[in-house]
Amino acid sequence: MFAHSAGCGRYAPSPSGDLHIGNLRTAVLAWLFARSTGRRFVLRVEDLDRQRSRDPQPQIDDLGRLGLDWDGPISVQSEHLDRFDAALDDLQRRGLVYECFCTRREIADAVRAPHGIPGQYPGTCRELSEAERIRRRRDRPPALRLRADTDAASVHDLLHGDVTGAVDDFVLRRADGAYAYNFAVVVDDGWSGVDQVVRGDDLLTSAPRQAMLARMLGQRPPEYAHVPLVVNAAGQRLAKRDGAVTLRRLEAAGHTSGEVLCWIAGSLGTAVDVGESAAAIRREAPDQEPAALLRRMLETFDPGALPLQPWTFVSPDAA
């Protein structure tokens, strides 16, 4: 039925709390994009930020309750640090990594200076001498930065077209020893054969630097689809304070996971055509409702018809 592809899509949540309906919608879209192109689909728990990470199981349960399935074991970032060590080692041996001793404050000041570019590391520590590095290591442990080989990179996005963005010497490993998101995500995607990345469009500006790093590691950058976020009635990014917005809270308020999936299907406009199937499925096979509805969404999925504006979600139980 689908064009054959040996590729792989993925959903990669950070386990910092329950997924809200915006996260669930992104997961459904990542699954639809992957499955509709014959790709494998994998789940990855991005738990490198030890302070913010919680038990990932509730998120995994919620994805399953929406009828999503995935291939192979779930990958947990903190369990395979060796692959990050190996990639860092490779870059280091090629002279593409340098130590950075800047504090946040110093970077902010440098960026505010004339010719500073907001959000860009100005390269302060790029050319420190060995003697200077030895001296500065006594004061604080260094972060490790990538020696970027360009100042702009392009990616192809299925929804946004060709996107070019500024890139800089971003952090690979923080001063506290934790690997940084931009590094880990690229190494992991390469390792798992991910060639399609579907995620929220708040990460669109990170894609050019991730694509640059992928090329430097000898990987082919994936194709991207950065999907719109979900907002509340005031147009702000959806958050817990917006009432019942997680599956758990919506279920506690009497809504089924099938109903939540119906709302998500409705938010995709004409990109899916579930017709009467939601009501019919509920009547005929209530236990399988989400999986059957998801199958129907998959049969009719047309990515070219996806709305590009944020979806406004007002919880039915908002005060």
The residue (of 12 and 172) whose beta carbon lies closer to ligand GLU is 12
The residue (of 65 and 199) whose beta carbon lies closer to ligand GLU is 199
Provide, rounded to whole angstroms, the least separation between the CB of residue 295 and ligand GLU. Answer: 25
Provide, rounded to whole angstroms, the least separation between the CB of residue 11 and ligand GLU. Answer: 7
Provide, rounded to whole angstroms, the least separation between the CB of residue 154 and ligand GLU. Answer: 18
Provide, rounded to whole angstroms, the least separation between the CB of residue 203 and ligand GLU. Answer: 6
The residue (of 181 and 311) whose beta carbon lies closer to ligand GLU is 181
Provide, rounded to whole angstroms, the least separation between the CB of residue 185 and ligand GLU. Answer: 5
The residue (of 26 and 267) whose beta carbon lies closer to ligand GLU is 26
φ/ψ region of 310 (left if φ > 0, alpha if ψ in -120 to 50, else beta) reads beta
The residue (of 199 and 255) whose beta carbon lies closer to ligand GLU is 199
Provide, rounded to whole angstroms, the least separation between the CB of residue 197 and ligand GLU. Answer: 6
CA 83/CA 81 separation, integer angstroms:
5
Token pair 């960026």 is found at: 111
With CB atoms as reference, the residue minimizing the distance to ligand GLU is: 199
**Which strands, in side-by-side order, build the sheet including 196-200?**
161-166, 152-157, 223-227, 196-200
Provide, rounded to whole angstroms, the least separation between the CB of residue 14 and ligand GLU. Answer: 4
Query: CB pairs under 8 A, 24+ apart, for 50-55?
Result: 50/78, 50/178, 52/14, 52/16, 53/14, 53/15, 53/16, 53/78, 54/15, 54/16, 54/17, 55/15
The residue (of 194 and 278) whose beta carbon lies closer to ligand GLU is 194
The residue (of 14 and 37) whose beta carbon lies closer to ligand GLU is 14
Provide, rounded to whole angstroms, the least separation between the CB of residue 214 and ligand GLU. Answer: 12
Residues in contact with ligand GLU by CB under 6 A are 12-14, 46, 185, 199, 203
Task: Answer yes or no: are the C-beta atoms of 16 and 307 closer than 8 Å.
Answer: no
Task: Answer yes or no: are the C-beta atoms of 172 and 89 closer than 8 Å.
Answer: no
The residue (of 56 and 258) whose beta carbon lies closer to ligand GLU is 56
